[in-house]
């Protein structure tokens, strides 16, 4: 794969066939806002990557034990 485009996303021709052939859908404004916020966080390096089910389960347990003040 070549260097990603600004924002960290690959060129369309580099996407797996399943994604390259996917139909784009229109999201509601709330979903669009959430996607934009997630992309901003990813671009800024504020994201969480779990390598495996055990790490994901540990993350969920941690979030359940210490909920974010804005959660809810």
Domain of residue 53 covers: 12-65
The verdict on residue 72 lying in a domain is no
Q: What are the pLDDT digits (tens) for 23-55?
A: 777 778 888 888 888 888 888 888 877 888 998
Nearest to 42 by CA among 6, 2, 70: 6
Query: How far is Cα 33 from Cα 39, in angstroms, rounded to an integer?
Result: 10
C-alpha dihedral over 31, 32, 34, 37, to 10 degrees? 180
Q: Which two tokens stand for residue 32?
A: 């669009």
The answer to whether residue 4 sits within a structural domain is no
In a domain, 38, yes or no: yes
Q: 2 lies in a domain?
A: no
The model carries a pTM of: 0.39
Number of domains in the chain: 1
Residue 50 lies in a domain: yes
Within-domain flag for 1: no
């Amino acid at each position: 794969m070549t260097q990603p485009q600004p924002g960290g996303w690959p060129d369309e021709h580099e996407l797996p066939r399943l994604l390259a052939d996917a139909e784009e859908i229109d999201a509601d404004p709330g979903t669009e806002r959430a996607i934009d916020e997630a992309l901003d966080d990813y671009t800024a390096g504020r994201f969480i990557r779990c390598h495996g089910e055990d790490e994901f389960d540990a993350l969920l347990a941690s979030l359940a034990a210490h909920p974010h003040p804005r959660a809810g």
